[in-house]
Amino acid sequence: MLVTATKMLQDAKAGHYAVGQFNINNLEWTKAALTAAQECNSPIILGVSEGAGKYMGGYNVIVGMVKGMIKDLNITVPVAIHLDHGSFEGCLKCIEAGFTSVMFDGSHYEIEENIAKTTEIVKLAHEAGLSVEAEVGSIGGEEDGVVGAGECADPTECKRIADLGVDFLAAGIGNIHGKYPENWAGLSFETLDAIQQLTGDLPLVLHGGTGIPEDMIKKAISLGVAKINVNTECQLAFAAATREYVEAGKDLQGKGFDPRKLLAPGAAAIVETVKAKMELFGSVNKA
């Protein structure tokens, strides 16, 4: 069932669990993520970065593919198609293409410009019936070639963006995309708590879900995080399983080169990764 992410995240916040956003890269990824969600009876947000959107051929391709899968695979759990770290233009394209949710990432602008642009996207997206995520305080690491250091958002700026009518809010709390360095200081729960005190019931979003220790994930959920983004972890699982298949020489045996065989272990690894995250986030049986 294709839906916006608003209700699923309000329910998550009220129920003290989080819904996972799993970024997709191709048909196998999408099928694996949706299969895992259905098997776990969990809501799911399919994340699409602008780079992944381009890679897959465009936003219309993705909407068509996801809608087709929901129908043909009988996916009955709530599914949102969400633009991840969207630019202003990217959000407009996704609204047009039929996404059900967009993130406008104005965190690299000065706060006044972030506010002005977020205001505009909230208006356009809500008119078209989509949910909106905004961001304050850049999330470090590398994503689509953009590198930033994990900073902590200013809680009063978070409150200003929250008051624009966004449906959920991402705030930097020392988290970064990709693998965490050995000397990572961990999440700033002080910042998260201060943000939640000011933003109340608004579901908060934790980016950079890969590699955050389980106890920190649970604590973040207890402090108002209702959406957790996971990307790199599925990529690592897919790559490791594919490597194992090739290194075992299986692509050279019989018809082992058939993409339906060659990509199967990687796809199965994504299913397992997504299911484990859904267990950890507490979204199993919350569909």
The 3-state DSSP class for residue 101 equals strand
Rg of the chain on CA atoms, in Å: 18
Cβ 162 vs Cβ 36: under 8 Å = no
Task: Rule CB under 6 A: say whether 230 interacts with ligand 13P.
Answer: yes
Please identify which residue in 6, 23, 131, 199 interacts with ligand 13P, judged by CB under 6 A.
23
Task: Rule CB under 6 A: say whether 137 interacts with ligand 13P.
Answer: no
Pick between residue 245 and residue 280 the one whose CB is nearest to ligand 13P. Answer: 280
What span, in angstroms and rounded, lies between the C-alpha atoms of 13 and 225?
7
Please identify which residue in 50, 84, 151, 157 interacts with ligand 13P, judged by CB under 6 A.
84
CA-nearest of 178, 31, 205, 177 to 101 is 205
Could you give the string, one character per residue 29-48, with x where binding to ligand 13P holds by CB under 6 A and - elsewhere? ------------------x-
Pick between residue 146 and residue 264 the one whose CB is nearest to ligand 13P. Answer: 146
Task: Rule CB under 6 A: say whether 105 interacts with ligand 13P.
Answer: no
Could you give the string, one character per residue 46-75, with x where binding to ligand 13P holds by CB under 6 A and - elsewhere? -x----------------------------
Minimum CB–partner distance for residue 93 and ligand 13P (Å): 18
Phi, psi torsion values for 139, nearest 5 degrees: -95, 130
Pick between residue 32 and residue 245 the one whose CB is nearest to ligand 13P. Answer: 32
Which whole-number Å values give the CA distances from 125 to 19, 50, 173, 175, 195, in the listed order?
21, 17, 26, 27, 24
Counting runs of H as helices and runs of E as strands, what totals does the chain give?
12, 10
* Active site (annotated) includes residue 154: no
Could you give the string, one character per residue 231-270, with x where binding to ligand 13P holds by CB under 6 A and - elsewhere? xxx-------------------------------------
CA-nearest of 178, 181, 173, 170 to 203 is 170
Pick between residue 159 and residue 177 the one whose CB is nearest to ligand 13P. Answer: 177
Minimum CB–partner distance for residue 42 and ligand 13P (Å): 18
In DSSP terms, which residues pair with 192 in a beta bridge? Answer: none
Residue list 198-217, contact with ligand 13P (CB under 6 A): 207-210
What span, in angstroms and rounded, lies between the C-alpha atoms of 15 and 69?
29
Cβ 234 vs Cβ 20: under 8 Å = no
Pick between residue 167 and residue 233 the one whose CB is nearest to ligand 13P. Answer: 233
Cβ 8 vs Cβ 42: under 8 Å = no
Cβ 154 vs Cβ 108: under 8 Å = no
Minimum CB–partner distance for residue 47 and ligand 13P (Å): 6
Catalytic site residue from 72, 84, 144, 251: 84
Cβ 230 vs Cβ 209: under 8 Å = yes
Number of residues that bind ligand 13P (CB under 6 A): 15
Please identify which residue in 229, 242, 273, 283 interacts with ligand 13P, judged by CB under 6 A.
229
In DSSP terms, which residues pair with 44 in a beta bridge? Answer: 79
Interacting residues toward ligand 13P by CB under 6 A? 23, 47, 84-85, 177-178, 207-210, 229-233
